[in-house]
Chain A
Amino acid sequence: SYRVSSDGKPAKFQPPPKPVITDKQKGREERRFLSPEFIPPRGRTDPLKFYIERKDMIQRRKVFNIPEFYVGHILAVTTADPHASEKMTRFVGICTQRGGKGLGATFVLRNVIEDQGVEICYELYNPRIQAIEVLKLEKRLDDNLMYLRDALPEYSTFDVNMKPVSRLDHEEVPVNKLQVRMKPKPWSKRWERPKYNIKGIKFELPEGKMKAAQKWSQPWLEFDMLREYDTSKIEEKIWKEVSEELRK
């Protein structure tokens, strides 16, 4: 046994090795998320205008917490409505698009209630919004989920009393690679065409139609240099500015 050494005498007590506690979260880089409405659009406006807008946006964020969310998340928004009988209205839905820059940034939530599809376009910085909760985190394969209007209603129905799904890791946002099945054609837009570049639909169209849709592809757009808008440096500057202000 370990207590007795090779010459028969009892060995000195060796304490067990101390457990090394590694804080994995400290070692990893802090994940940055800059909301897309902070990035100014390309144009000839004075950057002072964007700076003043950003100051106002940061002030609003200090008072009211706007969580990090992407297209495909399921959110619950409570709004103060002067016309409603109870002054607060709560709407749960999947975020289908995020648009607008600066203070006019909007996001559209979609849900199917009693077999009726409803979409509401909320403004992020509207003072009427009382609370935004993220119920489920998942990114989808596309930026724009407008095709859910032509998909089977089961893909847009979400339970209104759904409980928030707890988040495991503080690092990755899971990507849902769901391929959505569509209602029979005609659709509101021809989603099979390459201009929409949709990866999240399971096209059950015949091969001939898919090939015919590729006729409208514009492969030269990828190489067009005038359309490029590199936002990496702008993002870095704005991220530093915003994170400093929010820490104060």
Chain B
Amino acid sequence: SITGACRAIQKLTRVRVVDNSALGNTPYHRPPKCIHVYNKTGVGKVGDTILLAIKGEKKKALIVGHKMPGPPMTPRFDSNNVVLIEDNGNPVGTRIKTPIPHILQQRGEFSKVLAIGRNFV
């Protein structure tokens, strides 16, 4: 059975890892789920860090796009996309094929993640 689609990212949402890291792409019998959102409210939007449970391990990740409609002129994706990240902010993977919103370029802490991105929306 599948629960109704969640729109922004909160605890226990299943997310889709979008980079080409080994952790994100090897199949596992459970999908990667969010277990904590580093935010005052527990709701994660684009540019927030979350804690992910993948393959029995805990890993931090950056939200790159969600199903919830945001402010006008910003893109809304058809799946909740996430990029795996280390504790110091370095991305785990080496390439991000899916499109990334431009709003992330505003914050300087994600410059390394944006450098591996290919398409920007």
Interface residues of A (CB under 8 A from B): 79, 81, 83-85, 89, 91, 106, 113-123, 126, 128, 149, 186, 188
Nearest neighbor of B71 in chain A, beta-carbon distance: A121
The SS class assigned to the B binding surface is loop
Query: CA A188 – CA B68 in complex, angstroms?
Result: 13
Q: Which 9 A-B pairs have the closest CB atoms?
A: A117-B78, A83-B105, A116-B98, A83-B102, A84-B102, A83-B106, A119-B76, A118-B75, A120-B75
Nearest neighbor of B79 in chain A, beta-carbon distance: A116
Interface residues of B in 10-33 (CB under 8 A from A): none
Interface residues of B (CB under 8 A from A): 2, 5, 65, 69, 72-79, 81, 97-99, 102-106, 119-121
Partner of B99, one of A85, A114, A126, A188: A114
| Tally of contacts, chain A with chain B, CB under 8 A | 67
- B76 near A118 with CB under 8 A, answer yes
User: Which residues of the partner chain A approach B104 to less than 8 Å between Cβ atoms?
Assistant: 83
- B73 near A116 with CB under 8 A, answer no
Q: A89-B121, A91-B121 are in contact. Are A118 and B102 (CB under 8 A)?
A: no
- B98 near A120 with CB under 8 A, answer no
- A106 near B102 with CB under 8 A, answer no
Query: CA A123 – CA B77 in complex, angstroms?
Result: 18
- B119 near A114 with CB under 8 A, answer yes
User: Which residues of the partner chain B approach A123 to less than 8 Å between Cβ atoms?
Assistant: 72-73
